[in-house]
Structure 1
Amino acid sequence: MKRKTLVAVWLLVVAVFLAACGAAGRNDQTGGTAGKAKKDKTESLRVALWSQPITEQTNLLVEKEKGFFKEKGLNITLIPGAGGGDAIKNILSGQADIAFTDPGSLFFALDKGAKLKVIYNIYPQNVFNVVSLKDKQITKPEDLKGKKIGVYSLASGTRQNLLVLLHQAGLSERDVTIVETGLLNFAPLMQGQVDATAATDTGLVMAKEKGLGDVNVMEVKDYLNIPSDVFVVTEKTYNEKKELLQMFLEAYRNSAQWMIDHPEEAASLATKYAIDGKDEQRNLQIIKLRNGSSVSPLTEEKGLGALDVNVLQQAADTYKTLGLVKNDLNMAEVVADDLLPQQ
């Protein structure tokens, strides 16, 4: 009887052990599958661009080839626009999660009461300029007084940065004649219809290809070096999607670093994905310019995308002085650097 009892106990122990092993196996299998599912799952983010897909944005356009965002578990959709204001409208309307936009468009939206956050400094260098033919002898902002100056449009960054440049010389819009020339703003300059034209560094590259002669170039960054473009999100998106935004910024920084390290490869790929990318040599010039505008002493210290709230505050104050915005803007409440990747 005693032996029968011992056998029964032993059989019970074996049964319990086997059951436990089976449960553990099922748990491992379930956990492994769940882990794999989590790893394989991709999250979607929509990025509103300020333009059509162009060469300077090649690092965003080559996702199919390079997979910077897929590597972080993200699927990004690029939404083309017609200016930084369009990009802001797309995030405010819920059509996009992230806006690739300029500080001016940001300031205008904030001035109207929009609740926004700046999370990454795409181009810390100001890429705007004012160009004139050598024979006009316009070499400093003071020389623009009384002159006729072309801009893309009255709502463009070319006009805003022209006003910034004039302001540094104690001049205003009243001291010059501003002419809307459209995107082909160098043609009126070459034809003598304007004395100077406000443009960008990449615009100047294309104008030189089309026969623009010797020119004087005043870089706005030499007078007020405010960022050219930043990533902006709504406060709601910032509060609700922090983890996804961090993943996005890590992937974007990796893509930007790739373009800095491999400009020739980027120039070649731009021929496939950029609407203005047919000429590989021109692509290379544009990409090198944008690579240069992506870095600064601050990014050398803190990494690509580093934000300087003081510079953005100075820019916002200048826009208020120029009458471009009506209200005082507190950029310390708008700039959020906590999502930036660590060095």
Structure 2
Amino acid sequence: MKRLLSLGLAAGLALTALLTGCADAPEKIRIGEVTRSIFYAPQYVALEKGFFKEEGLDVELTTTWGGDKTMTALLSGGIDVALVGSETSIYVAQQGAADPVITFAQLTQTDGTFLVSRQKVEHFSFDQLKGSVFLGQRKGGMPQMVGEYVLKKHGIDPHNDLQLIQNIEFKNVASAFASGTGEYVQLFEPQASQFEADGIGYVVASFGQESGTVPYTAYMAKQSYLEKQKAAIQKFTNAIYKGQQWVASHSPKETAQVIAPYFQEVSPEILESSVKRYLEQGSYATDPILDESEWNLLQEIMDQAGELKQRVDYAKLVNTTFAKTAKEGK
């Protein structure tokens, strides 16, 4: 009898330990980022500084390489949260999705590309683009739409005043320019800084500064997921906000050192200069709230690019509850 009691007690303690372990186990969230970019520094800071773990989350990050692939992964259940251009949720809505994709946190608030000239230009003006060969980005994506928006703002018709090349895959644009294609190119960091260092090209303008504040890259999830995982999404947003605040309050060098494991092929100097550029032009959002004015500008940019079938109400595709709660520290 004593042996049976001992066995029973042992089994009970083991079960209790198992249940306690399950209760304490961090909740897993799978993120799909549209590309690996210094532009997303606050996300990598949140990972490296343990902000997600502090919130009780186990975050799995995958680079999904492209807006279409990222959204396919989200809609099919391959990932839980997508970090992608805000325009993608509108594209899904335009297709009449039964389970709409909702943006709940903003990461970047300007365009992240720079205009790079093959020749060094002392006094650049956008008029100099007329008649040139311009290596742009993929049609329908935020970089290309913002690029065209900025050109039009300066009185340039991107489809008639210059030779626009936009049929090269995003990941191959920099190498295409380096190999001799185009007189001007639209590039993200660190390629822009690296090209300057190597004498391949020279930054003459910032599309981020020219276009103004826009919800460029944001976190989104299916509405059904947000409804079922409210607590987890709040913890996730809290961690992102911590990452944003950390980047805003630290030097470019400090941020570059923290995110270095994600950019092992980039030199410390180029990494630091890239972060500095984005900080100086306010590209990193300092909180995850996507404002309605930004949403309206996004749709204006899409409309001018011919990619907007009809305007979508801000309240329909944007949920700021999690972002506001994170900022308020509740």
TM-score w.r.t. structure 2 length?
Answer: 0.78
**Displacement of 1:188 after TM fit?**
6.2
Instruction: Please give the residue correspondences for 1:104-253 in structure 2 after superposition, counting only pairs within 5 Å.
Output: 104-114=87-97, 115-132=100-117, 133-135=119-121, 138-140=124-126, 142-154=127-139, 156-175=141-160, 176-180=162-166, 183=171, 185=173, 193-212=181-200, 214-253=202-241
Maintained 8 Å contact 2:48/2:259: no
Residues 283 and 170 from structure 1, CA distance in 2 versus in 1: closer, same or farther, beyond 3 angstroms?
closer
**Preserved contact between residue 116 and residue 233 of structure 1 (Cα < 8 Å):** yes
Distance change >3 Å, CA 250–CA 164, structure 1 → 2: same
User: C-alpha separation between the residues in 2 aligned to 1:94 and 1:110?
Assistant: 17
Q: Tell me, yes or no, if structure 1 residue 342 matches structure 2 residue 327.
A: yes
Using the TM superposition, give the Cα deviation of residue 189 of structure 1 relative to its aligned residue in structure 2, in angstroms: 5.5
Residues 314 and 187 of structure 1: is their aligned pair in 2 closer, same or farther, counting only changes over 3 Å? same
Counterpart CA distance in 1 for 2:20 and 2:274 is 41
Post-superposition offset of 1:221: 3.4
Tell me how far apart the structure 2 counterparts of residues 258 and 136 of structure 1 sit (CA, whole Å): 36
Deviation at 1:268, TM superposition (A): 2.9
Change over 3 Å in CA distance of 1:236–1:127 after alignment to 2? same
Corresponding position of 1:330: 313
**2:79 alignment partner, SS class:** coil
**Which residue type is aligned with residue 166 of structure 1?**
L
Q: Which residue matches 1:6?
A: none
Please state how far the C-alpha of 1:289 moved relative to its aligned partner: 3.7
Cα displacement (A) at 1:102: 1.0
Aligned mates of 1:65, 1:196 — CA distance in 2: 36
Equivalent residue number for residue 26 of structure 2: 42
Residue 275 (structure 1) shift:
4.3
Distance 1:91 1:165 in 2: 31
- Is the Cα contact below 8 Å between 1:128 and 1:221 reproduced in 2? no
* Alpha-carbon contact 2:31-2:60 (below 8 Å) kept: yes
Rg larger in structure: 1
Give the match for residue 7 of structure 2.
none
Alignment check: 8 A CA contact 2:131 2:163 kept: yes
Alignment of 1:256-267 (within 5 A): 256-262=244-250, 263-267=252-256
From 64, 83, 99, the equivalent of 1:81 is: 64
1:57-93 C-alpha deviation (Å, 9 max, x unpaired): 4554467753211111111111211123322222111
What corresponds to 1:68 in structure 2? 51
Query: What is the correspondence of 1:261-340 to structure 2 with a 5 Å cutoff?
Result: 261-262=249-250, 263-271=252-260, 273-292=261-280, 293-295=282-284, 299=286, 304-340=287-323
For 1:48, the aligned partner's letter is: G
Identity %: 18
Alignment partner, residue 15 of structure 1: none
Q: Label 1:232 to 1:321 Cα distance change in 2 as closer, same or farther (>3 A).
A: same
Secondary structure, aligned partner of 1:174: coil
In 1, the alpha carbon distance for the partners of 2:272 and 2:74 equals 31
Equivalent position amino acid for 2:151 in 1:
L
Structure 1 unmatched runs, 5+: 1-28
The one-letter code sitting in structure 1 at the alignment partner of 2:297 is: Q
Conserved? CA contact 2:31–2:62, under 8 Å: yes
Amino acid at match of 1:239: E
Structure 1 residues 212, 249: closer, same or farther in 2, change over 3 A?
same
Structure 1 counterpart SS, 2:225: helix
Please give the root-mean-square deviation of Cα atoms over the aligned residues, in Å.
3.3
Q: Which residue of 1 aligns with 2:6?
A: none
> How many equivalent pairs are there?
304
